[in-house]
Amino acid sequence: MSSPEIASLSWGQMKVKGCSTTYKDCKVWPGGSRTWDWRETGTNHSPGVQPADLEEVVKKGVKTVVIGRGMSEALQVPASTVDYLRKNGIDVLVLQTEKAVAEYNALAAQGVKVGGVFHSTC
């Protein structure tokens, strides 16, 4: 199963190819995507992305995870979250969201089992 292309990104809106939903924040993995609802794990801009935000994506067997920190990079990514991914043998890229989407799409196009979490505003 391949990772779906992120078809479009603008402030507060993301579309994933093959999905009719417009996301504000989203999670993607080989074969799927869904809304990334921060309330599920109590995530906030600080301290930021938690391992619990990534567990679902990790369970999909990804080799790489791309984290989009927002358009102005307001979303933090603590070292403990990066360590969690690396301890699971997963490469991690933490980037401004537009750059993160471009990198994710490039990896997906190469057939890499890539997943990601993306914040589309601040």
What is the CB-side half-sphere exposure of residue 17 using CA atoms within 13 A? 12
* Residue 42 contacts residue 54 (beta carbons within 8 Å): no
Percentage of the chain with pLDDT > 70?
Answer: 100
Residue 22 is predicted with a pLDDT of 97
Which domains does the chain possess?
6-118 (3.40.1230.10)
What strands, in cross-sheet order, belong to the sheet with 32-35?
Answer: 32-35, 25-29, 114-119, 64-68, 91-95
pTM: 0.97
